[in-house]
Amino acid sequence: EAAVTQSPRNKVAVTGGKVTLSCNQTNNHNNMYWYRQDTGHGLRLIHYSYGAGSTEKGDIPDGYKASRPSQENFSLILELATPSQTSVYFCASGEQGSGNTLYFGEGSRLIVV
């Protein structure tokens, strides 16, 4: 079974503070992704990566940065957190190719007050 783990699982942050969400995968997948989940919007892609050292903007990258220091790790960084970034964030990994599925972590619930 593919394994994607996220930390922290729950986080309360203050407006203007810095937040880092971490993701580790043991699948040896090249591609990793950060999505946020909001009612009425579904899962929306923030950033993704093709491999160590690469990060690409997804559909809603504003206010977020990403870092991929190794094959296994992919972080999402909120330099100046805002209440609109209150959400559940999911990390996923997968291989290139249209037929390949993504494997999701358990999610990180972030509340910005």
Partner 1 sequence: GDSVTQTEGLVTVTEGLPVMLNCTYQTAYSDVAFFWYVQYLNEAPKLLLRSSTDNKRTEHQGFHATLHKSSSSFHLQKSSVQLSDSALYYCALRSNMGYKLTFGTGTSLLVDP
Which positions lie near partner 1, rule CB under 8 A?
Answer: 4, 31, 33, 35, 40-45, 48, 50, 56, 58, 90, 96-102, 104-107
CB of 48 to partner 1, least distance (A): 6
Pick 40 or 84: Cβ nearer partner 1: 40
CB of 110 to partner 1, least distance (A): 15
Total Cβ atoms within 10 A of residue 13: 18
CB of 11 to partner 1, least distance (A): 16
CB of 53 to partner 1, least distance (A): 16
Buried b (16+ CB within 10 A) or exposed e, 75-91: bbebeebeeebbbbbbb
Pick 32 or 81: Cβ nearer partner 1: 32
Residue with tokens 């950060």: 34
| Helices and strands per DSSP (H, E), number in the chain | 0, 11
